[in-house]
Chain A
């Protein structure tokens, strides 16, 4: 059988024996067609060259011997938020807060509110061009769990999704929708592990002057294969800020597909990833500038040890209409040993002639001079290294607007950094 045939057989096999869910039936059927047309991703695909999708595309999840901890994620425990809990990818009403929130409508995916009919899967469908993302289409077709949020006012506190992975073979597919109406704002937190395998899509529509702040932590259990997709569309003067912290994890790929449609829109994406042996972390970003005077920032840093692999694929596409675009992209890695690898692929494609776009990528080791300076003042090597690692990642935390959340994640990192061993 040729590799191409395998791709399509694998896609078809995803739908064997299962009817699509009733909610969003048209969108699901269209998504199924996309999956069948595209086939499942393979390592030979340009955008999967550095990250082998096998763990995500396999028919079934290989159960692990050791049971995951199954503990509630602790990243945002001290943050006052409306908590929605998913256990092994299934909403747990008893563990979640009651939904009564002024200026916000919250429903479960299965409830499929009418207003969301045309929204579900629409950004994912657009995001298939020019780069195919079959796993996201698969998610749209199959997802039965997720939350639909519509924000009409100023959210007084964040909404927090907490993921708990309890069984040793959980296979979670979650699809969330967020619509922030004109002038409204929302902070969304996510923490924990979707499942032993997890495929998540988050579609975000920002109307004019809408604001969306998104802070996610992924960690710290190791045996997981995760792919997340953030699809967002921004109206005039809309602001999107998304930050991701990943600690550990056998395979994590976070995709973000952002379109700045309106004028004067802003999209800031940042991420810190840190892991030791067996860690594979991939950030794949696609930002499209269409409106005038758009601003986009990408600041991604990875700390890799014990042969860990970090991948960054970041693209900025500036359409001809997007004059006065200000694009910035930075990806950096700190390699703690000789076996770790950082693979960076920055891409800029610019059709407008009056734009500012800068990008850079660096890879380096711990600065020996700084290390000696710290040691000469009495700081032991381990502690000095931890300080320098935190210092390296500090730039990404600075991208979080909410100083309280940034400080909370700094504390999470302080606890985590000393545990990153070869």
Chain B
């Protein structure tokens, strides 16, 4: 599904190299987790994949379903099935949550040559998905993420994911700012979306999210590279001993 090869990335505005040769292959239907200490480049990886400005790819590639992603505009990447759940979902005053979702969904459908979703069909779909995530009608009427609690914002991200039905989902520290109950709710939402045609890349600092969203593979990232890969046990090892053991092993 997602094939990252020897990805090197620096900041556009300064001579700071962040990713120094990332290699990662995520198969269809697989859930991969990336863990790592602060500043290791995890979030940068997610932004570069989604197409945020400010980064320069100096080397390497990232293929989604065999197609190069890095040359595409963010909206085209989205239409091709890439989705990034933001660590800090953005508040957009004045833009209604419903308008936003419908605009996004129809824009993606247009790129894919599909018909626009009818208002009735859309409402039905939103209601159904929102209910599962305990998002009430009042929240849907409000402007995007404005006045939402941390938990509400993350649930709103998962709602978008459910509505847009992407093939490749990247979750950037979705657990940050969540209490235990909210984390369960969000995880249930993600788990409900797991299927053979959809892959996940879960970026997190802590093992606890991975208790709820159980990954097939775990990778440890440090200093712009993936330095160790393994099964779910690797996350438990990090939880027990911290990153220092693994880092020193590598050194």
A369 within 8 A of B: yes
Q: Mark A376-404, 1 if CB is under 8 A from B, else 0.
A: 11111101100110111111000000000
Point out the residue from A373, A380, A383 that lies within 8 Å of B92, measured CB to CB.
A373
The distance in angstroms between the C-alpha atoms of A383 and B104, with both chains bound, is 10
Bound complex: CA A368 to CA B51 (Å): 13
Interface centre among A379, A392, A394 (most CB of B within 10 A): A379
> Is there a chain A Cβ closer than 8 Å to B158's Cβ?
no
Contacts of A420 in B (CB 8 A): none
Q: How far is the CB of B83 from chain A (nearest CB, A)?
A: 8
Q: Which DSSP category, helix, strand, loop or mixed, fits chain A's interface?
A: helix
Shortest distance in angstroms between A404's beta carbon and chain B's nearest beta carbon?
Answer: 18
Q: Which B172-194 residues have a C-beta within 8 angstroms of A?
A: none
Residue pair A378, B95 in contact (C-beta under 8 Å): no
Neighbour of B104 across the interface among A370, A374, A390, A391, CB < 8 A: A374
Whether the Cβ atoms of B94 and A375 lie closer than 8 Å is no
Q: Are A375 and B100 in contact (CB under 8 A)?
A: no
In the complex, the answer to whether B107 meets A373 with C-beta atoms within 8 Å is no
CB-contacts of B99-146 with A (<8 A): 99-100, 103-105, 107-108, 111, 143
- Complex partner residue of B94 from A373, A376, A392, CB under 8 angstroms: A392
Known contacts A383-B107, A388-B92, A378 near B75 by CB under 8 Å: yes
Contacts of B53 in A (CB 8 A): 368, 372
* Residue pair A378, B107 in contact (C-beta under 8 Å): yes
Contacts of A391 in B (CB 8 A): 92-95, 143
Say whether B84 contacts A376, CB under 8 Å: yes
A370 to B75 alpha-carbon distance, docked (Å): 13
A387→B144 CA distance, assembly (Å): 12
- The reply on B78 being an interface residue by CB < 8 A is yes
Do A379 and B75 touch across chains, with their CB atoms under 8 A apart? yes
Give A375's nearest chain B residue, CB to CB: B74
Which B residues touch A378, using CB under 8 A? 75, 78-79, 104-105, 107-108, 111, 164
Find chain B residues with CB under 8 A from A369 CB.
90
> Do the beta carbons of B90 and A373 come within 8 Å of each other?
yes
Chain A CB within 8 A of B233 CB: no
Does B61 reach chain A (CB closer than 8 Å)?
no
Do the beta carbons of B160 and A377 come within 8 Å of each other? yes
Report B-chain residues with C-beta under 8 Å of the C-beta of A372. 52-53, 74, 90
A370 touches B90 (CB 8 A): yes
Residues of B within 8 A of A380 (CB): 73, 75, 107
- CA–CA, A391 and B92, complex, Å: 8
User: Which residues from chain B contact A384 at a C-beta distance below 8 Å?
Assistant: 75
Residues on A with beta carbons closer than 8 Å to the beta carbon of B99: 387
B50 part of interface (Cβ distance < 8 Å): yes
Provide the B53-84 mask, 1 if CB < 8 A to any CB of A, else 0.
Answer: 10000000000000000000111011100011
Q: How far is the CB of A363 from chain B (nearest CB, A)?
A: 17
- Given the known A-B contacts A372-B52, A387-B100, are A377 and B164 also in contact in the complex, defined by CB atoms under 8 Å? yes
How does the 8 Å CB contact mask read for B146-176 relative to A, with 1 for contact and 0 for none?
0000000000000010001000000000000
Interface residue from A373, A379, A387, A388 paired with B86 (Cβ < 8 Å): A373
Query: For the complex, what is the distance from the CA of A369 to the CA of B86, rounded to whole Å?
Result: 11
User: Least Cβ distance of A367 to chain B in Å?
Assistant: 8
Please determine whether A376 and B50 come into contact, CB atoms closer than 8 angstroms.
yes
Give the one of A368, A375, A381 with max B CB within 10 A.
A375
Instruction: Determine if B74 and A387 form an interchain contact, defined as CB atoms under 8 angstroms apart.
Output: no
CA distance A390 to B103 in the complex (A): 14
User: Would you give the shortest CB distance from A386 to chain B, in whole angstroms?
Assistant: 10
Min CB distance, B165 to chain A, in Å?
A: 11
Contact A379 B104 (CB under 8 A): yes
B39-57 to A contact mask, C-beta < 8 Å, 1/0? 0000000000011110000
* Nearest-Cβ distance from residue A140 to partner chain B, whole angstroms: 40
Query: Contacts of A383 on B, CB cut-off 8 Å?
Result: 103, 107
Q: Which residues of B contact A377 (CB under 8 A)?
A: 75, 78, 83, 100, 104, 160, 164
Contact A387 B103 (CB under 8 A): yes
Nearest B residue to A394 via CB reads B94
**A373 to B156 CA separation, bound complex (whole angstroms):** 13
| Complex contacts, B93 vs chain A, CB 8 Å | 391, 394
Q: Are A376 and B78 in contact (CB under 8 A)?
A: yes
> Which residues on A sit within 8 Å (CB–CB) of B83?
376-377
In order of increasing CB-CB distance, the 8 nearest A-B pairs are A391-B94, A378-B78, A378-B108, A394-B94, A377-B104, A373-B90, A375-B74, A391-B95
What are 16 of the A-B contact pairs (CB < 8 Å)? A372-B52, A372-B90, A373-B89, A373-B92, A375-B51, A375-B73, A375-B74, A375-B78, A377-B78, A377-B100, A378-B108, A379-B103, A379-B104, A380-B107, A383-B107, A391-B94
**Given A378-B108, A391-B92, 8 more contacts at CB 8 Å?**
A368-B53, A373-B89, A375-B75, A376-B83, A377-B78, A378-B79, A387-B103, A395-B94
Chain A residues engaging chain B, CB cutoff 8 angstroms: 368-370, 372-381, 383-384, 387-388, 390-395
